[in-house]
Every structure is written in C-alpha cells, then in structure tokens.
C-alpha cells in the first residue's frame, strides 16, 4: 500500500527517523515548560547550574589619597536530576494491517501530548513530581512566596498591577501562561482604545503587531489538559529562570514478543499471544528554578499568579 510501511520483525528502529524527530518537536510544543523555559542538555544524570548569589558593591574614594575598598561576588549552584517519563503503547497487529490512515501520524501527536502533559503536571502543579526534583512546583512555590493576586472586575489592571509588583522585586516579566480560552477573555481589553492582547497582526496595538501577545509579551495557552482553572487564571514571570534538563530525548523501541506485568509480577498483556506490538517510549528530564539575587531583592521567586476569586489558599 502506497504511503504505508509494514514491519515484520522486532527492531529498535521501527519508528521512521523523521517521525521520531517530529515527536520530539511536538512534545516541546505540547509542554508550556519546554516552550517557555530554558532547555538545558544534561550529559549526566545530575547537572548543576552556577548562578550569582550576591552582587558586588562600589564605593566613592575619599580624596586624593583615599583607599579603594574591596568587594566580593559569590556564586551558588542549582542542581537538576534527570528522571524518566515512559509509556508502553499497545498496538494490535490488525490495526497496523488494516489502518486506513498512516499509523505513525495517528500515534505521534498523542505520544507527544502525553509527554508534555506529564512534564507540565509535575513542573506547574507538582502532580507525580519526582522526589529527586527538590525545587517546588511553580504553583506551590508561587503561593508560598506570596506572589499572588486575585482577579477583580478589571482584568487589565489586575495583570498590569501584578507585573508592577514583579518589577519592584527585580523580576523582568517576559511571558505569560494561561489555560484554554483565556485569550478570548482578553478580546475587549484596552488601554486608551488600544488592544492589550493581539490576536492578529496589527501594528496599531499595544503589542506592536506581534500576534499572540499580552502587553507585548508572549502568551502561551496550555491546551494539554493540565491547566487547573480553579487555582490559577494566569502565570507570569521570568521564564529564563525555569530550567528543563534534557538527559535523553524521546527514544522508542517496538517489540512483538514483549510481556507487560504489573507491580506484583502478574502478566497483564502478552504481545505475541495477543497478536500485538508494544511500543516502549522513554524520555528523561530534569527540573529546577534558579533564583539569583537581584539588585532589588534577595533571591526572589521569579513567578507570579493571578488567581480567580474563590481560589484555594494553597
């Protein structure tokens, strides 16, 4: 059949290379953390990032013979540890043989979305976050830091007011993250009759004609099913301080004689006996947030949350 590939034997390279690469790219798009954060290659299971801990001072010299004073800079280390995200995808042989659509085109976006969903759930909300990830999840740490504001009737002022607080903490806002549909709430938001949110390329807006921006900064809509609208309306912050370590990009192997067992060793699926193939998908990621001191504050948490009225306190 033109456009299809039939696999007859077990192999570790059954996924076409161009499809494998596409899944890696789509996983990044499916994850707000991978899209906005800083992606750091990890050569080992543990990786460290060196950051400035304290800044130097400078002094006036007293007169012609005054002595210049000394000052110091110190550095700190932020650690990341890579942990696996994995799945076993059962693919019946009949589906492979009879599929009316290209098989990998069906599987690719679902696998990418699953990886992005798992990563975002851990990083933003702490859901199933590995214990080796010692940095708190973004939502929990933001609440603990007190970097929250509650929505009022004026959404535009709410966003701008929270950004002003961040600026006074020494944090440069460079992007926003929201849940599905939030951008449509912004459709009538204006300052001096100029739209605050740009849904189209229009040079006559506060966003300088850049599509998908709020106050001129990128607005990432999270559509992978992880957003908890009962807790947060919007996250903002300096996303360059979010580090997502990539120890191992997405790899695959497909097996036609594999057996899946549960934690007690009970067989729950037998590929050979049940005429199927089992795709094994594995990726390894790390996570941390670096919080260097600024000239305005000592190691401020770099993220802020606008929360809906009635949101839980923690």
Q: Write the pLDDT tens digit of every residue in 85-134.
A: 888 888 888 776 666 556 666 776 788 788 889 999 999 999 999 999 99
Return the pLDDT at 105: 65
Return the pLDDT at 175: 93
What average pLDDT does range 278-295 have in this prediction?
A: 85
Q: Is the pLDDT of residue 308 over 80?
A: yes
pLDDT in tens, 184-233: 887 666 655 555 666 554 444 444 445 578 888 888 899 889 999 999 99
Q: Is the pLDDT of residue 251 over 80?
A: no
Contact 145, 301 (CB under 8 A): yes
Return the pLDDT at 249: 67
What percent of the chain is modeled with pLDDT above 70?
74
Q: Model pTM? A: 0.78
**Boundaries of every domain in the chain:** 17-54+73-151+242-286
Structure confidence at residue 12 as a pLDDT band (50, 70, 90): very low
Domain 17-54+73-151+242-286 -> CATH class: alpha beta
Return the pLDDT at 101: 56
Return the pLDDT at 3: 35
Return the pLDDT at 140: 96
Q: Which long-range contacts (CB under 8 A, 24 or more apart) does 189-194 make?
A: 189/155, 189/156, 190/156, 191/156
What average pLDDT does range 285-310 have in this prediction?
A: 88
Return the pLDDT at 265: 87
Structure confidence at residue 4 as a pLDDT band (50, 70, 90): very low
Give per-residue burial for 267-280: e unless 16+ CB within 10 Å, then b: eeeebeeeebbbbb
Nearest CA to 137 out of 146, 125, 127 is that of: 125
Under 8 Å CB-to-CB from 144, ≥6 apart: which residues?
A: 136, 301
Q: What is the mean pLDDT of the chain?
A: 79
What percent of the chain is modeled with pLDDT above 90?
29
pLDDT in tens, 24-53: 556 667 789 988 998 888 888 887 766 666
H-run or E-run covering 35 = helix 32-36
Map residue 177 onto helix, strand or coil: strand
Structure confidence at residue 10 as a pLDDT band (50, 70, 90): very low
Q: Is the pLDDT of residue 274 over 50?
A: yes
pLDDT in tens, 54-74: 666 777 787 777 777 777 776
């Amino acid at each position: 059949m033109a456009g299809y590939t039939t696999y007859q034997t077990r192999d570790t390279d059954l996924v076409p290379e161009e499809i494998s690469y596409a899944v890696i790219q789509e996983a990044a798009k499916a994850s707000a953390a991978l899209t906005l954060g800083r992606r750091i290659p990890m050569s080992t299971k543990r990786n460290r990032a060196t950051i400035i801990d304290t800044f130097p001072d400078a002094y006036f010299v007293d007169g012609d013979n005054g002595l210049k004073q000394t000052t110091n800079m110190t550095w700190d280390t932020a650690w990341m540890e890579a942990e696996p995200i994995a799945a076993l995808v059962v693919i019946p042989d009949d589906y492979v043989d009879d599929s009316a659509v290209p098989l990998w085109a069906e599987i690719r976006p679902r696998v990418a979305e699953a990886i992005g969903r798992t990563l975002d759930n851990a990083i933003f909300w702490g859901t199933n976050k590995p214990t080796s990830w010692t940095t708190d999840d973004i939502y929990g740490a933001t609440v603990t830091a007190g970097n929250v504001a509650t929505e009022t009737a004026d959404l535009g002022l709410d966003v701008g007011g929270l950004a002003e607080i961040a600026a006074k903490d020494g944090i440069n806002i460079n992007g926003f993250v929201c849940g599905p549909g939030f951008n449509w709430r912004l459709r009538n938001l204006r300052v001096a009759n100029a739209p605050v949110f740009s849904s189209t390329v229009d040079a006559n807006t506060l966003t300088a004609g850049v599509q998908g921006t709020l106050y001129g900064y990128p607005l990432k809509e999270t559509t992978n099913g992880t957003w908890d609208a009962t807790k947060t309306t919007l996250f903002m912050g300096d996303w360059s301080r979010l580090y997502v370590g990539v120890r191992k990009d997405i790899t695959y192997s497909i097996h036609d004689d594999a057996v899946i067992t549960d934690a007690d060793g009970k067989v729950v699926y037998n590929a050979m006996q049940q005429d199927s193939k089992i795709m094994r998908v594995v990726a390894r990621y790390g996570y941390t947030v670096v919080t260097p001191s600024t000239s305005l504050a000592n190691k401020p948490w770099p993220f802020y949350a606008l929360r809906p009225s009635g949101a839980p306190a923690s």
